[in-house]
Amino acid sequence: MMFFTNGFLIANLLPRYPEVKQAFGLSNTEFGVVVAMMALGSIIASWLPAPLIRRFGAGPVALAGTVAIAASIAAIGFAPHVLLVAAVLAVTGFSDAVTDTAQNVHGLLVEDAYGKSIINSLHALWSFGAFTGGAIGAWAASQEIPLGPHLVVAAVVAIMLAALAIALSRLPADLVRRSAEATGRPESTRLTRAMWLLLLPLGLLTIVGILPEEAAMNWAALYLVQVVETPFGVAGLGFVSMIAAQTVGRLLGDLATDRWGAVAVMRTGGILIALGGLLIVAVPVLPLVLLGFALIGFGCATVVPAAYAAAGRLPGLPEGAGVAIASWLLRIGFLATPPLVGFVSDQTSLRVALGILVVAGVAVFALAHRVRSTPTPAAG
């Protein structure tokens, strides 16, 4: 439920991005800079999740972050100036960085106790929440419901669900004890060169793995309006197609990972991302563009969960540190990508700019082997 609410909240806003862009008269580059503020906020918060988790526990930290996300998302609907929108998005990203790390750390503890892969299923619930929020946002846009009341209702629903989730998500006593023992390690554990050599490729993998999702979140609605020439009420279908396929991919991801291994599954995903990207930019017709977004969503489904799991289990790191560092590296990509896509699209076209999806697919294929079990880093 925590994963569900995290996806649900932000996705309510995404189908309505074209309205926000139009309301403030933004160019593609300016819009890219505004949405990148969410990534900037998350990078600023990158140092915070691990010590908070060790002090208060992953569940309470995730709940507090969810409440902060809900409040900031609701505020966007009433922002009178684009600078305020940018500031609130930065607060959203700050809060999301904390929530994201906390819920993943909690999930990995449960997975370790369960003895089978469940991390993809947890992320599937995030995707299902995003699908639900995106569908509601698209419907609200088609019905011309004012943005402010729409986002307030979404925020209230999410807070109620998160409060219920925290009441249900207490860890068994043995896991609490194991987590406390792990958090007893000193926070000043030094990241050695060997650790960074293991973490950086995993961080790059999270960046290229999240890029298809980021492209659909920030640019799918605009692509459908600007290139495919659909009305605002239809524009949300690009994101909904991606997130629906991603949900299915994550629901199947644990079974596929247990049967064929994370590397094989991820390499297949890289191929699907590249094919989907080609379809989106080469054939800007609504049914085929929606199919392309579905392919990139299915292809990227297991990439970030597998990279987080690999980073979270690197030996020699304090509890939550591996996931936090991988999340921080991912958000650097989030910060750079929207302005880059916006600038390239203003200089050429949005079709050319979204060719980055093909590059992302190739990179996922090339880096897939990094999620294999890694050896203990050497000291020094």
Segment 74-112, tens digit of pLDDT: 999 999 999 999 999 999 999 998 898 888 888 877 777
Nearest to 363 by CA among 297, 300, 287, 318: 300
Nearest to 335 by CA among 31, 40, 44: 40
Q: Is the pLDDT of residue 315 over 90?
A: no
Q: In the CATH scheme, what is the code of domain 2-371?
A: 1.20.1250.20
Q: Is the pLDDT of residue 379 over 70?
A: no
Place of tokens 């979404």: 154
Nearest to 23 by CA among 107, 94, 84: 84
Nearest to 151 by CA among 297, 315, 13: 13
First to last CA, the chain: 41
Which tokens go with 280? Answer: 């989106």
Please report, rounded to a whole number, the percentage of residues in the chain having pLDDT higher than 90: 42
Q: What is the mean pLDDT of the chain?
A: 85
Confidence of residue 177 (pLDDT cuts 50, 70, 90): low
The residue ranking higher by pLDDT, 196 or 374, is: 196
Q: Is the pLDDT of residue 120 over 70?
A: yes
Average pLDDT over residues 140-167: 92
d(C-alpha 72, C-alpha 183), whole Å: 31
Nearest to 257 by CA among 300, 294, 302: 302
Q: Is the pLDDT of residue 380 over 50?
A: no
Average pLDDT over residues 357-370: 91
**Which sequence spans correspond to the domains of the chain?**
2-371
Q: Is the pLDDT of residue 119 over 80?
A: no
Return the minimum-mean-pLDDT range out of 8-22, 27-41, 167-181, 279-293.
167-181
d(C-alpha 154, C-alpha 335), whole Å: 25
pLDDT at 318: 62
Segment 21-40, tens digit of pLDDT: 989 999 999 999 999 999 89
Which tokens go with 82? Answer: 């684009």
Return the amino acid letter for 94. Answer: F
pLDDT at 187: 46
Enumerate residues 6+ apart whose C-beta is below 8 A from 359: 208
- Give CA separation, 314 vs 48, 113, 221, 323, 374, in Å: 20, 17, 38, 9, 7
Average pLDDT over residues 317-321: 63
DSSP string, 326-366: HHHHHHHHHHHHHHHHHHHHHHS-HHHHTTHHHHHHHHHHH
d(C-alpha 239, C-alpha 268), whole Å: 21
